[in-house]
Amino acid sequence: MHCLIRRLTRRVILFASLILAALSFTVQRACASPSGTQTGTVNHPHLLCDEGSPLCAEVANSIGYEGQYVGHDEPALLFYSDVPGSGNNVRYKLRLPTDPPRIPRQDGSGGTFNFQLHPAFWFGMALCDNQSAPEYTHADCVPNSDTNIFDSSDPTATDYIGKHPGTAFLEVQFYPPGWVLWPAGISCSATKWCAAVAIFSVNSNDNTDVANNKDCQSKVSIEPANFAFIT
């Protein structure tokens, strides 16, 4: 009985320690400025959690310590073309993977469903969006033109990346059959593949590191998305 009480006591202490650590992290995050540095006497880079939880693995700004990328890995196959008009006329042929005939087993002898291997895979494409970051100018995007591309790292250059009209990102996503239904889960069907299109923008001025006002953020977040299932 005494051994059981000691074990329970240790578990309570450990749980309390984790709660205090989480609260401490949350307070530090709340005291951080939009630029990623804490306000007050301490002035050092502070990784803001993108999901609002002290347990999340994503940071709000992917360019972190010493200007290096911080984030998760996503394997990619990239396609580039210098053929005029190729960005407006793209065709891909995709064969969706099938689930195994054997159901998964606890001992690992069964199959593995696709939704257990990955939440989604997708085709992506950058789009011109003058209402998205870097928010340097709201000039109209020039249609069917490469003049919207600014890729210089020199702030004094006319094609400095911080001065381009703005960029959104298009994703055509494919969700495998899953047992958790949308919106809480990763699929819209337990037996069929689902496809959706999402266009993400960023409400932030990347030159001044100032985000959109709090009222807009509370309505559409810092990264609004246009989302719809497609057939």
- Average pLDDT, integer, range 138-159: 88
pLDDT band of 111, cuts 50, 70, 90:
very high
Pairing state of beta strands 121-128 and 204-205?
Answer: unpaired
pLDDT range class, residue 65, cuts 50, 70, 90 = low
**pLDDT over 60 at 170, yes or no:** yes
Q: Which residues are CB-contacts of 136 (< 8 A; sequence separation ≥ 6)?
A: 162, 163, 164, 205, 206, 207
pLDDT tens digit string along 20-43? 333 333 333 333 333 333 333 333
* pLDDT value of residue 179: 66
Q: How much is the pTM?
A: 0.64
How far out from the chain centre does Cα 8 lie? 39
